[in-house]
Structure 1
Amino acid sequence: MAKDKVKQLNKSLVNYINALNAINDNYITLHHLNKDIDDLENEIDRLEKLDIPTYQTSKLKDKYNLKASSFNSLLELNNSNLIVLWKLAKSTLKQFNQFSEDEIKQLGYIKEKAILEKHYQKYRPKFIDLVKYDLKHLGGQQHG
């Protein structure tokens, strides 16, 4: 086994785990934001039914709009991150193909390879989403 290939595989696995952790953190944040948005919506409805002055409901609506905007931005970012995760899984699986099954066993990465294969299928984006992602990021590279 070439040490450089093993080193690169280890680096790719660490990058994959870091990306997966970031996505998990985003899911938690999205969940909290969603709950806050629901709570604000219920409070606004309650105040409007009580005919509370519009200043108070206006402040809550501003807060609601800000959280809803944040939620939508984070959701879009999370969808992009899922494509990045899929691409990382794809490239890491290609690196695994450079090793025999015995070498993978010797490295102790049988479980990791199986997880990557599962995630590769699970996070596979729709073709149109992948094209949109690539176009968006290609455009950003040309202007950057």
Structure 2
Amino acid sequence: MAACCLAAIPVIAAAQSGDVSAARGLYVSIIGGCHDCHTGGYNESGGKIDPATALAGVPLGYSGPWGTSYASNLRDSVKDMSEEEFVKFAKTFTAKPPMPVYNVHAMEETDLRSLYLYIKSLGSPGAPMPEALPPGAEPATPYIVMEPVMPKG
């Protein structure tokens, strides 16, 4: 796994702003924080990307006043989208916390096109992640509670 990650370093360095390429998309996915939530084991590995799990989602829920949400499988999300459809989607979609949709909405079109190419280059979409749950529904997966606790007194 380390060799694949180290091999990506020259590709990332070669991906210039304004380029539309899968290499640029890899770079955008890293600096945009996509792997932080959507790639299993990414944080635990110190930021190494395993292509087998890259952007395939994580079945760990984030529970709060909105209910419980999951980091979706981006490969599955884009499998039937054209590049044009993805750009339009990325500029307008909504999602429950903790997904920072405003970060994606602010991306340059060339970066979104590159991100699309990178996601599509990853191969088989794999399995979808669990659907979001409404407030009060008990998740069947592990989850993190994201609600503030007020101090007593």
TM-score with structure 2 setting the length: 0.28
Bigger Rg, which one: 1
TM-score of the superposed pair, with normalisation by structure 1: 0.29
